């Protein structure tokens, strides 16, 4: 079973990318499980057409976790047979969502739920960038050794991508975690020179761009139908880009990035944006 994680800045489109990629993998005959690792619990919405309830942490609070069937009850089957689950989060103003994610990962491993469902690919959709050790657990604990980073030609999206690469590099150097970056996913926003901008950023940090998802209203049109773009517009250029990306990740990728120094990253990225006339 291959385990990959999708990281990126909040709002950059991780869940959309994860869900469309899961569908593309399923179209290729792979059995896929998508695990949302966010208190919002909305990662699998487009795969199911509704919110995934109960979340694992809701179930733990209601029934405990001593029996595997309690956790198995949280799994639902979405489009193309994709197994869907959401970690969920603590009650508002109580507890730590990052620690909750760790508990959920441990329960998946303890009860071997992906193996029970004969999963070929387990896709972790992880909230925001790695500013919280709890949300870094999918890579820190070796649950997902391949990380793909969703970014765009925007300042904070690139800044977050650099932070994630710093985390991956640190985990390899200090923790011996043996986790790697598979590539950058350019979820385009339509800013000037975005293809070249993100490609050059990738060259600077030693990570290739493995997908360029066009900025398109088809994405929003599909989401209003509670579906992924790959399902709703299967013949579109955007859907083909997701299929191309899914084809690439059939083979493992292992890159240790060389990120910008955190002290310099903002200024370097701003210079890059100026080069492509994103702002004066």
Catalytic positions are 9, 14, 40, 129
Q: How far apart are CA 174 and CA 180, in angstroms?
A: 14
Radius of gyration of the chain (CA): 18
Distance from the Cα of residue 24 to its chain's centroid: 15
Sign of CA dihedral 158, 163, 168, 170: positive
Decide if 8 contacts 14 (C-beta within 8 A): yes
Q: How far apart are CA 229 and CA 248, in angstroms?
A: 19
The secondary structure of residue 79, as a DSSP letter, is: G
Buried b (16+ CB within 10 A) or exposed e, 82-100: bbbbbbbbeeeeeeebbeb
Nearest C-alpha neighbor of 109 from the set 142, 76, 62: 142
Are β-strands 2-8 and 76-77 bridged in parallel, bridged antiparallel, or unpaired? unpaired
């Amino acid at each position: 079973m291959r385990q990959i994680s999708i990281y990126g800045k909040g709002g950059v489109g991780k869940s959309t990318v994860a869900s469309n990629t899961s569908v593309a993998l399923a179209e290729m005959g792979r059995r896929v499980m998508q695990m949302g690792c966010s208190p919002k619990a909305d990662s699998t919405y487009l795969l199911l057409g509704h919110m995934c309830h109960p979340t694992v942490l809701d179930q733990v609070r209601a029934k405990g976790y001593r029996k595997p069937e309690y956790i198995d009850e949280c799994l639902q089957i979405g489009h193309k047979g994709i197994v869907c689950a959401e970690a969920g989060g603590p009650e508002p103003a109580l507890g730590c969502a990052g620690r909750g994610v760790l508990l959920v990962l441990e329960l998946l491993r303890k009860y071997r739920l992906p193996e029970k469902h004969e999963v070929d690919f387990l896709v972790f959709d992880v909230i925001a960038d790695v500013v919280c050790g709890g949300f870094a657990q999918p890579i820190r604990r070796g649950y997902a050794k391949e990380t793909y980073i969703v970014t765009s030609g925007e300042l904070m999206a690139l800044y977050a991508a650099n932070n994630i690469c710093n985390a991956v590099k640190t985990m390899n150097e200090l923790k011996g975690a043996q986790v790697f970056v598979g590539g950058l996913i350019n979820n385009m926003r339509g800013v000037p020179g975005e293809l070249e901008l993100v490609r050059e950023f990738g060259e600077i940090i030693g990570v290739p761009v493995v997908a360029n998802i066009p900025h398109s209203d088809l994405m929003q049109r599909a989401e209003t139908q509670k579906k992924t773009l790959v399902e709703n517009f299967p013949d579109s250029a955007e859907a083909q880009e997701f299929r191309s990306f899914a084809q690439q990740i059939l083979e493992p990728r292992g890159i240790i990035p060389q990120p910008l120094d955190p002290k310099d990253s903002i200024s370097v990225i701003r210079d890059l944006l100026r080069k492509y006339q994103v702002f004066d």
